[in-house]
Amino acid sequence: MNIADMTIKEIKEWLETCKELPAEVQALFMADARSGVQAVYRRWQRNQEKARKQQERWLEMSRYERELWKRGYRHIAGVDEVGRGPLAGPVVTAAVILPQDFYLPGLNDSKKVSPAQREVMYERIMEGAVAVSIAMSDAPLIDEMNIFQATLRAMHEAVRGLQVVPDITLNDAVTIPQLSLEQRPLIGGDGKSISIAAASIVAKVERDRLMKEYDRQYPGYGFASNMGYGTAEHLAALREKGPCPIHRRSFGGVLQS
């Protein structure tokens, strides 16, 4: 292949199919005096570096899964929750079992992923997972049990709702009571395990969609933007309107309204 005889468009299209370039080909690019060729080549280099870092990150975040798969565990369920801190709405939990060949670059703790990226990842997870289960505890149950116990209950329901029985669960920080399965709690697990991160993404997207629906049912509190958290707008609405049916009346910000 003679780079000098190719147009910039041809080079760009060809590079899009390449994951690696031999040293002699890279030397041809570096020797090409055309500024457009240099720009295309630098872009390819940046993309390759990004892909390399994503692969390294994936290997780091899948180390618990790979260790367990190697030991013969077949179905590993990641379990996480979203929504323990808000003043309104449910706490939502998810349990996700990923196949061993699953790969989703950029998968991370849902708090570290943009809303648009979360939506794309959610679809990929729902399409590619072996099994997904979602459960929640609503505001009245949170008030009755307290937020921690209500979260554990929802996690238990999410695991029990999986259509494939897991061999083990990887949980974000907690041990789920009365669950007759092997468990491994990981502190900060949504940033350390692909299974827990996937559960974090699913739970976050599900809860955000639900809060947007609640915003239509109970306008004026800003649920579509604050997701039930105690923003200044939300607290002002509470003082003016009082709590609505999805508010957690045992939480301080609601009690003071």
- Binding-site residue positions: 80-81, 172
CA distance 94 to 52: 30
Binding residue positions for a divalent metal cation = 80-81, 172
- Which tokens in the block code for residue 40? 């295309």
Identify the bridge partners of residue 91 per DSSP, sorted by sequence position.
Answer: 137
Residue 44 to residue 20: CA distance in whole angstroms: 10
Alpha-carbon distance of 238 to 253, in angstroms, equals 9
Label each residue of 157-182 as H, E or C. HHHHCCCCCCCEEEEECCCCCCCCCE
The candidate with the shortest Cα–Cα distance to 179, out of 79, 81, 90, is 79
> Pairing between strand 76-82 and 168-172?
parallel
Question: Reduced to 3 states, what is the DSSP secondary structure of residue 21?
Answer: coil
Structure tokens at 128: 């590619």
Query: How many other CB atoms are found less than 10 A from the CB of residue 151?
Result: 23
